[in-house]
Amino acid sequence: MTGRVLIIDGQASNRIVLKARLAAASYDPLPAADGETGLALARETGPDAILIDLDLPGAVSGVGLVRRMRADRRLSTVPLVALGGPQDHEGRIAALQAGADDVMTKPVNDLALLARLRNLLRRRVALEDLGGGVASVRDLGLAEAAETFERPGLVAIVTARPETALHLRRELSPLLSDRLICLSRSEALIEGAAPVPDVFVIEGQPSGDGGSLRLMSDLRSRASTRHAVFCLLRPATAEAEDAMAFDLGAHDLAKTGGDPRELALRLTGLLRRKRVSDNLRATVRDGLRLAVIDPLTGLHNRRYGLNQLAGIAEAARIEGECFAVMVVDLDRFKSVNDRWGHPAGDAVLVEVARRLAENIRTGDLLARIGGEEFLIALPGADLAEARMVAERLCQVIKESPITLTGGAALNITTSIGLAVSEGGAPLQREPVQVVIDRADRALLSSKSAGRNQVTVDRTAA
């Protein structure tokens, strides 16, 4: 993975070393010697990732620079890793509070740093794939405004010994508003457990046996926990496995026995980023659903209906079967809107859609394809069966009035045009649009003959 990485470090030797290491890994490094220069360069170039030494010279401190970058709309989502000294505990805490994605200890392990950059860049690309980033999703009108209330998250602490998990929970409880539960490794793998944790904190083993990595990989492969996030607790001596952990999908690493404030801040950041991912995923899912659903009736819309009908026709061609197409239109619907208003017309459409849906078979297609027009397809239905269904639909619409909110009862009828594509040799099959056109012609005949009836077009090709 390549990208432009901004290096902000007051020591020339550090910048030279980091630049060489990043260039060797096919990144495009941009060095800056102080905070003001780095901030200007970041705004000018739009880097893909930023490395900031917390011990910066000049008026802008490392933590202050992190805070200013996170307040800048153009830089707020750029992956940002702070580099701090091994004894600078308060600096690490302050950097995480300011919005750093991670704080790594100097001297930084080369493999771990490059793996962390790959990890953060993959995460950012994944968010962009969901919707072009948070700002773009809002610009498209697909995302609601952020709510001030955030539901508490569920954090599962998974350790080899129960007392270790209980100790961690006691340390973290005063620092988090989220719910903390303790699980054994076998309990974490139970399928169907509810509720599903948002975050798994998994303890690694001093022996470096890879047990935490295997557990994380297993949980990530399961449908119920694939969108959970993972923070691995690693012994200080396990640096060799840190790079592997990031490349296998760990969202964060923390040292066993470290400052609980740091772990709490890391978990808070993970939960915040997970909420963004979940919201984007829900937005995309809802957008896809709305793209094929008529918002008034809840039926499929014209685009989906015609696409599905083409699939029904193709399946019928392969199997040598017939299928039926109906076009259903409400009689004198304009008079309903003119006399009772459009809310009354909407209520009629919703009720008609409900009655139609309840009186066709599972597997049949029903879509709203116009203002008061519906398309129905019956796979495998011959003329006799299709006509029986059409007559039943006419009957269920007219047999009982539709009651409006104000108490008025409207008698509604429908006209239906029916066409059947007969089975036969594939080369003799008429195109699906021709079948729809025949059903449309039959609908016009129903209207001309007095409405409230079914007309069959028998002129198959």
CA atoms of 6 and 49, how far apart (whole Å) = 6
Predicted structure pTM score: 0.71
Domains, the chain, ranges and CATH?
Answer: 1-108 (3.40.50.2300), 138-291 (3.40.50.2300), 302-457 (3.30.70.270)
3-state secondary structure of 350: helix
Cβ contacts of 122-126, under 8 Å, gap ≥ 24 = 122/1, 123/79, 123/251, 123/273, 124/48, 124/77, 124/78, 124/79, 126/277
Supply the mean pLDDT for the chain: 89
Three-state SS for 419? strand
H-helix or E-strand spanning residue 279: helix 260-292
Identify the bridge partners of residue 52 per DSSP, sorted by sequence position: 8, 82
Task: Check whether the bond before 107 is cis (ω within 30° of 0).
Answer: yes
**Which two tokens mark 346?**
């909407």
135 vs 438 pLDDT, higher one: 438
The token pair at 153 is 């998250």
Work out the pLDDT band at 280, boundaries 50, 70, 90.
confident
Place of tokens 């030279």: 16
223 burial via Cβ count (<10 Å: 0-12, 13-18, 19+): exposed
- If residue 242 lies in a helix (H) or strand (E), which one and from where to where? helix 239-247
Q: What is the DSSP string of 113-144?
A: HHHHHHHHHHHHHHHHHHHSSHHHHHHTT-SP
Supply the pLDDT for residue 134.
43
Residue 279: per-residue pLDDT? 86
Using one digit for the tens of pLDDT, what is the confidence trace for 72-112? 999 999 999 999 988 888 999 999 999 999 999 999 989 99
pLDDT digits (tens, 9 = 90+) for 10-39: 999 999 999 999 999 999 999 999 999 999
Positions annotated as catalytic residues are 372
